[in-house]
C-alpha cells in the first residue's frame, strides 16, 4: 500500500509535504490492517459492523494517541473503507490505493490497469474505484453507510 502511494506521489511530482501525508496515511493504514479483532475493537469501541469498517477508525484513533495531528492524514485513515466527501487528495488517494493495491487477489488485471492510470487521471480512476466498490457492495446486499452514499454523489454525480 505504501509502495503504491509512493510511486503515485513520485510520478505526480507531488510537493514533499503532500507526498509525506500520503505515505503516513498508508503506514497508519497498514499498521493495524492485520490486527486481531479484539485490538480493533479496543481502538474503535463505538463502531458497529464488520471488522473492515472498524479498522479505519481504529487506525485513526491509535495514530492520534501516538501524536499524529494532521487532519488530512487522520481523516484519510478514519474513512478509507467508507469514503468521505470532505476529503482532499490524501484521503482520496488512500481510498484508491486500498482497493488497487497488488496484494488483493480479485480482479488483478483490471485493478493493475487502474493503478497504472492513476497518475495520468486521478479523477477518472477515483470515479471508477468508487463505482466498483459500491456496485460490488450493493450486489452483495450490503447496506451502504451514509458517508459512502454522500461520497458517491460527490464524486460520480
One DSSP character per residue, 60-85 reads HHHHHHTT---HHHHHHHHHTTT--T
* Residue 48-87 contact track with Fe ion, rule CB under 5 A, x = bound: ----------------------------------------
- Which CB sits closer to Fe ion, 108 or 120? 108
Q: How many residues bind Fe ion (CB under 5 A)?
A: 1
140: left (phi over 0), alpha (psi -120 to 50) or beta: alpha
- Which CB sits closer to Fe ion, 37 or 120? 37
- Distance between CA atoms of residues 131 and 129, nearest Å: 5
Using rule CB under 5 A, residue 98 touches Fe ion: yes
39 close to 57: Cβ distance less than 8 angstroms? no
Residue 138 beta carbon to Fe ion: minimum distance, rounded to whole angstroms: 19
Give contact residues for Fe ion (rule: CB under 5 A). 98
Amino acid at each position: 500500500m505504501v509502495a503504491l502511494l509512493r510511486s503515485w506521489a513520485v510520478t505526480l511530482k507531488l510537493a514533499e509535504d503532500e507526498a509525506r501525508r500520503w505515505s503516513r496515511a498508508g503506514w497508519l493504514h497498514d499498521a493495524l490492517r492485520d490486527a486481531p479483532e479484539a485490538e480493533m475493537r479496543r481502538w474503535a469501541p463505538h463502531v458497529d459492523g464488520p471488522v473492515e469498517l472498524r479498522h479505519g477508525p481504529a487506525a485513526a484513533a491509535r495514530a492520534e494517541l501516538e501524536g499524529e495531528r494532521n487532519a488530512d492524514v487522520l481523516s484519510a485513515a478514519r474513512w478509507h473503507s467508507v469514503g468521505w466527501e470532505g476529503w482532499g487528495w490524501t484521503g482520496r488517494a488512500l481510498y484508491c490505493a486500498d482497493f488497487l493495491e497488488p496484494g488483493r487477489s480479485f480482479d488483478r488485471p483490471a485493478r493493475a490497469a487502474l493503478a497504472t492510470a492513476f497518475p495520468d487521471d486521478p479523477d477518472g480512476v477515483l470515479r471508477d474505484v468508487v463505482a466498483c466498490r459500491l456496485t460490488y457492495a450493493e450486489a452483495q446486499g450490503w447496506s451502504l453507510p451514509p458517508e459512502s452514499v454522500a461520497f458517491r454523489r460527490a464524486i460520480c454525480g
